[in-house]
Amino acid sequence: MVSPTRLQLLGPIQVRQDGRIVRGFESRKALALLGYLAARDRPVARAHLVDLLWPDLTEARGRANLSGALHNLTTLLPGRLAADRHVIAFQSPPADWVDVAAFEVLVAKGTPNALAAAAELYQDDFMTDMYVHHCPEFDIWLTRQRADWRARMAEVLGALIRHHAGRDDHTASIGFARRLLALEPWLEDAHRQLMVLLASSGQRAAALAQFKACQRDLMAELAVEPAPETVALYRQLLAGGAAAPRPPWLVGTQDGA
């Protein structure tokens, strides 16, 4: 019987069976092929895969390389790829687990516990350690995937911040706000959120320090200064406003996620 497989794409791509990392992939392109097919989760034309991963080769040579990579994958992971002369598809038996699919199921549930579990699945950028040389179309796809998954994660973290802040759970809301800024440090709204959360929890000095962090991040990422509303919040806290007014992003969150 084939052992269940766990495939991680949200972070360094990793395949496990029986708790052990699967090794023996013949090349980075073989691993890239697995990640691409698992993320697409539908049949993909062989011709497209050749253009994607072997664009600098003749069609015959590219198809031969694709067949070699496919043989390597099916040897390591029997039953996970379905192929005919025209298309190849990733297929996941019920006992298998793929993190991107699990993430989407949890987000669809939408409960705070499910969203927190989804956040735990996001280890880093999509296929963060993957690169292949001289494959521009694959690079474009990978860049878009990373941006898309980062945006999905930001939405999850935003929902968790609102949920926990609406219940005055400072520890959880501050923790998720810090995770959001670690993910996207250029989000000025998130900096203001964290300033308010820190001030509301009695950490006025930390809230003031967060403004300085906001200044640094915005200059480093976007070469801009904080917006007037961010400066106004900082001055309010500096003047002794220990708890800023309840901001719009917390209104109506007592019963929602």
Confidence class for position 254, pLDDT limits 50, 70, 90: very low
pTM tops 0.85: yes
Full domain range(s) for residue 194: 115-250
The CATH number of residue 191's host domain is: 1.25.40.10
- Is the domain of 92 the same as that of 121? no
The CATH number of residue 49's host domain is: 1.10.10.10
Give the pLDDT of residue 1. Answer: 55
Instruction: Report whether pLDDT(253) > 70.
Output: no
- Is the domain of 174 the same as that of 134? yes
Least confident of 79-83, 173-177, 218-222, 252-256: 252-256
Provide, rounded to the nearest whole percent, the portion of the chain with pLDDT above 90. Answer: 89
- Is the domain of 192 the same as that of 89? no
Q: How many domains does the chain have?
A: 2
Mean pLDDT on 45-65: 97
Instruction: Report whether pLDDT(57) > 60.
Output: yes
Report the chain's mean pLDDT, rounded to a whole number: 92
- Is the domain of 82 the same as that of 49? yes
Provide, rounded to the nearest whole percent, the portion of the chain with pLDDT above 70. Answer: 93
Element (H, E) at 206: helix 204-222
- Is the domain of 120 the same as that of 246? yes
- Which residues lie below 8 Å from residue 160, measured CB to CB, with a gap of 6+? 112, 115, 116, 119, 172, 173, 176, 257
Which residue, of 38, 68, 97, is where some domain finishes? 97
Edge to edge, the sheet with strand 20-21 lists: 20-21, 14-17, 5-8, 97-98
| Domain membership flag for residue 223 | yes
pLDDT 10s digits, 151-208: 999 999 999 999 999 999 999 999 999 999 999 999 999 999 999 999 999 999 999 9
Confidence class for position 41, pLDDT limits 50, 70, 90: confident
- Is the domain of 22 the same as that of 131? no
| Domain membership flag for residue 197 | yes
| Domain membership flag for residue 105 | no
| Domain membership flag for residue 36 | yes
- Is the domain of 134 the same as that of 74? no
- Is the domain of 137 the same as that of 240? yes
Give the pLDDT of residue 242. Answer: 47
- Is the domain of 127 the same as that of 240? yes
- Is the domain of 209 the same as that of 238? yes
| Domain membership flag for residue 106 | no
Neighbours of 213 (CB within 10 A): 15
Mean pLDDT on 124-149: 96
- Is the domain of 15 the same as that of 139? no
- Is the domain of 197 the same as that of 89? no
Least confident of 11-15, 61-65, 200-204, 250-254: 250-254
Instruction: Report whether pLDDT(246) > 70.
Output: no
**Are 66 and 52 within 8 A, CB to CB?**
no
